[in-house]
């Protein structure tokens, strides 16, 4: 049935739409602006400290998801008044600061619970608890704004600073293993993207559902591999990657040779 739009009901219709849009803007704008207000102010001031850190945040997933500076550093993101905005912020060298090296894993863990739980099981975390300042934390690999995913070669170099031939805890094979395994992890991730793309092209709903289930089964060891990486247990990482690869290859076989 077609609806005839008269001048009166068109006016009423757009009046309702206008009210809804106004309500949306009124309700949504504060939350959206709060997450970027710190950055807006710092971007407008060239003399503001740590411009590189600010730029890293702007390129990060945190920025894209409206996770503002105050979520990690504290402060008041509802105001542009400098004194009020910075009230309560502690320098990272302060033991009570949420971005102090010892507190940083827990701060990141408020959102990234899985990696934090895995990291707590590592020897590195145990050393952090003892006050060792040389141990890697979240920012060591992911950068101050969480915008980085280190390449396998960069990870090897980072590990070698402590575990290289002349490091404080020489285990050269560990650094080499990290690079090899993270190369394999990156390759497996790329393979998963390719498999996902192929599954998305399947038009038959029943077959698509079957392939989706098989894909989810391949995702499980991949998730476990990343967890093992955050624990720095590379034997487990290798084992889970092998399992993921086997499931992905079996899935590729199903995609290449569909049953008649």
What CA–CA distance (Å, rounded) separates 81 from 70? 15
Whether residue 54 is contained in a domain is answered as yes
Whether residue 38 is contained in a domain is answered as no
Q: What is the 3-state secondary structure (H, E, C) of 50-92?
A: CHHHHHHHHCCHHHHCCCCCHHHHCCCCCCCCHHHHHCCCCCC
Amino acid 36: pLDDT: 66
Cβ-in-10-Å burial (0-12, 13-18, 19+) of 72 comes to buried
CB atoms within 10 A of CB 168: 10
Matching residue, tokens 């980072």? 158
What CA–CA distance (Å, rounded) separates 154 from 62? 22
Domain end residue (candidates: 88, 114, 149): 149
Amino acid 260: pLDDT: 58
Domain end residue (candidates: 132, 149, 166): 149
Whether residue 10 is contained in a domain is answered as no
Residues 205 and 235 in one domain: yes
Whether residue 198 is contained in a domain is answered as yes
Length of the chain in terms of residues written: 260
Sequential pLDDT tens for the chain (260 residues): 333 444 444 344 434 444 343 433 334 444 443 456 899 999 999 899 999 999 999 999 999 999 999 999 999 988 889 999 999 999 999 999 999 999 999 999 999 999 999 999 999 999 999 999 899 999 999 999 988 888 999 999 999 999 998 899 998 888 888 999 999 999 999 999 999 999 999 999 999 999 999 999 999 999 999 999 999 999 999 999 999 999 999 999 999 887 65
Structural domain containing residue 185: 150-260
């Amino acid at each position: 049935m077609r609806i005839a739009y008269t001048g009166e009901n068109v006016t009423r219709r757009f009046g309702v739409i206008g009210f809804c849009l106004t309500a949306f803007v009124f309700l949504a704008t504060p939350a959206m602006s709060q997450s970027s207000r710190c950055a807006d102010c710092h971007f407008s001031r060239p003399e503001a400290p740590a411009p590189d850190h600010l730029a890293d945040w702007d390129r990060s997933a945190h920025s894209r998801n409206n996770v503002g500076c105050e979520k990690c550093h504290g402060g008041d993101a509802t105001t542009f008044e400098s004194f009020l905005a910075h009230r309560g912020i502690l320098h990272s060298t302060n033991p009570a600061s949420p971005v102090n090296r010892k507190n940083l894993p827990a701060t990141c863990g408020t959102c990234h619970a899985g990696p934090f739980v895995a990291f707590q099981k590592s020897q590195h975390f145990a050393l952090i608890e003892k006050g060792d300042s040389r141990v890697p934390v979240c920012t060591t690999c992911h950068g101050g704004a969480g915008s980085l995913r280190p390449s396998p070669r960069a990870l090897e170099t980072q590990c070698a600073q402590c575990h290289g031939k002349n490091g404080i805890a020489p285990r050269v094979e560990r650094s080499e293993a990290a690079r090899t395994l993270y190369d394999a992890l990156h390759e497996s991730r790329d393979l998963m993207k390719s498999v996902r793309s192929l599954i998305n092209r399947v038009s038959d709903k029943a077959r698509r559902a079957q392939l989706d289930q098989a894909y989810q089964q391949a995702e499980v060891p991949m998730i476990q591999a990343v967890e093992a990486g955050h624990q720095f247990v590379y034997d487990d990482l290798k084992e889970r990657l092998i399992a993921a690869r086997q499931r992905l290859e079996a899935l590729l076989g199903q995609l290449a040779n569909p049953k008649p």
